[in-house]
Amino acid sequence: MAAEFELTDEMLATVGVESEPWPVELTTTSVRAFARGVGYSDPRYYDLDAATAAGHDSLPAPPCYLGTPVFIPGQSDPTFSGPRNTGPSIRHGLKGLLDGGTEVHYERPLKAGDRLFMTSKISKLEVKESKGLGKMLVVTSEQSFTEQDTGDVVMRTYGQAIYY
């Protein structure tokens, strides 16, 4: 439990620094696998004819499926497949970590065949106090997903990590 904790100039310098773009894909296989993994049984997530009958031109992405980062040997994080060590990291020295949640804003529905680029940045740093955990660092990050061909933003996610 941290009794004292302050933001440093080094930490504040990370705010707003955007990562390099990373490829993210939605394939028919990944849409089906995600839908199956979370227990969705709607045929439009599995069958193109059912998707077409429901008004889609491809398999729609199920709720909460944001695509799969492309794995590139030697460059990808071995656990999460996405980029490894892109953008600045925050050296805070706090040992505990809580997930503060994720919010997703769609500009249009995602679908199989989408080829996106994802960038990430820290958008906000806050120090808060908890009676049980003491001083906490709340890191808000933003990820932007753009179409590879047009550069149009199709989705943004906002997540919070709470270090204590």
What is the DSSP secondary-structure string of 130-164? ETTTEEEEEEEEEEEEEETTT--EEEEEEEEEEE-
Whether residues 80 and 147 share a domain: the answer is: yes
**By residue range, what is the domain housing residue 110?**
9-25+67-163
Read off the tokens for 89.
């990291």
SS3 105: strand
Whether residues 59 and 36 share a domain: the answer is: yes
* Structure-token match 């794995």, residue found: 71
pTM: 0.84
Q: How far apart are CA 71 and CA 68, in angstroms?
A: 9
pLDDT (0 to 100) of residue 2: 65
Whether residues 105 and 132 share a domain: the answer is: yes
Q: What is the pLDDT along the chain (164 residues), one digit of tens a residue?
A: 666 789 999 999 999 999 999 999 999 999 999 999 999 999 999 999 999 999 999 999 999 999 999 998 988 877 777 776 665 678 898 999 999 999 999 999 999 999 999 999 999 999 999 999 899 999 999 999 999 999 999 999 999 999 99
Whether residues 128 and 84 share a domain: the answer is: yes
Q: In this structure, are residues 57 and 50 in contact, taking their beta carbons and an 8 Å threshold?
A: no
Whether residues 143 and 123 share a domain: the answer is: yes
Q: How far apart are CA 6 and CA 125, in angstroms?
A: 11
The answer to whether residue 1 is domain-embedded is: no
| Count of structural domains, the chain | 2
Whether residues 121 and 59 share a domain: the answer is: no
Return phi, psi of residue 135, to 5°.
-70, 135
pLDDT (0 to 100) of residue 3: 67
